[in-house]
Amino acid sequence: MPKTAPPAAESPAKIFRSEEELATLPASERIRYRLVKAQRRYHANDNIAAFVRDGELTELKAEVQAKLQEVLQALVTDTESDHNTNETAKRVAKMYVEEVFRGRYVPMPAVTEFPNVERLNELMIVGPITVRSACSHHMCPIFGKVWIGILPNEHSNLIGLSKYARIADWIMSRPQIQEEAVTMLANELQERVRPDGLAIVMEADHFCMHWRGVKDTDTSMVNSVMRGAFLKDANLRREFLSLLPRKQS
């Protein structure tokens, strides 16, 4: 019996177009092609700056504006004669791309690391750092505070105090899930500072709880990540937590 060759699987390289071909597509499609080709995840809280070329953010903003205009239309809003919503699609597109979700599209802020010449090895607490984000589920605002505990060792790199806030802002300026946000922040700091112990506590108000759903105005959510010495040493953990001036404590 003659063997029939299985249909040749198309090589993945063929699916992806050249940059010239991509140039004819909307910016979001172009960026998506590059991400898929590189097998990179692009969830709402992933940073995709390495896949965005010069000028493409401007194109993205225009695309988002056009889609938001359709959302307003679907909500049966007369944006032509209603002066309040006339420019809303444009304003919101700018707010998403340039402000509240900016942490997806720009690279991490430059952070200078200093060797620990003084060989500091005492618990260091940074905070409260005010953070703003939006939940991935409802795109509703999240407002909160973050505290960071660091137990350095002689090989740790130290970073300037204001840099903790910059890195936190970069991670929070994306549609987020609080548990994932604190883990992302911990990973970033672990890699940069390489301390013996790292602890992060985030306490935040989720406006999807206040504005919709149960309309509960008092509930806030607290998450923590403990690594290294903070996991092993209950006294260190207690010391860190006792020093946080949290609102319900």
- Let me know: does 200 contact 225? Beta carbons within 8 Å: yes
Does 225 bind Zn ion (CB under 5 A)? Our answer is no
Does 135 bind Zn ion (CB under 5 A)? Our answer is yes
Does 210 bind Zn ion (CB under 5 A)? Our answer is no
- Strands 141-151 and 175-176 turn out to be unpaired
| Minimum distance of Zn ion from residue 64's CB (angstroms) | 20
Which string of DSSP letters, residue by residue, matches 70-101? HHHHHTT--TTT-TTTTTHHHHHHHIIIIIIT
Closest CB to Zn ion: residue number: 208
Does 132 bind Zn ion (CB under 5 A)? Our answer is no
| Minimum distance of Zn ion from residue 142's CB (angstroms) | 8
Residue 158: other Cβ atoms inside 10 A: 20
Does 137 bind Zn ion (CB under 5 A)? Our answer is yes
Closest Cα to residue 52, out of 107, 134, 114? Answer: 107
Does 221 bind Zn ion (CB under 5 A)? Our answer is no
Nearer to Zn ion among residue 40 and residue 137 (C-beta): 137
Nearer to Zn ion among residue 57 and residue 182 (C-beta): 182
Nearer to Zn ion among residue 67 and residue 137 (C-beta): 137
- CA 79, distance to chain mean position in Å, is 32
φ, ψ for residue 30 (rounded to 5)? Answer: -60, -50
Does 244 bind Zn ion (CB under 5 A)? Our answer is no
Choice from 22, 72, 106, 208 touching Zn ion (CB under 5 A): 208
Nearer to Zn ion among residue 135 and residue 159 (C-beta): 135
- Kindly identify the residues of this chain, within the stretch 41-100, that bind Zn ion according to CB under 5 A: none
Does 138 bind Zn ion (CB under 5 A)? Our answer is yes
Bond prior to 128 in cis (omega within 30° of 0): yes
3-state secondary structure of 187: helix
**Residues at the interface with Zn ion (CB under 5 A):** 135, 137-138, 208
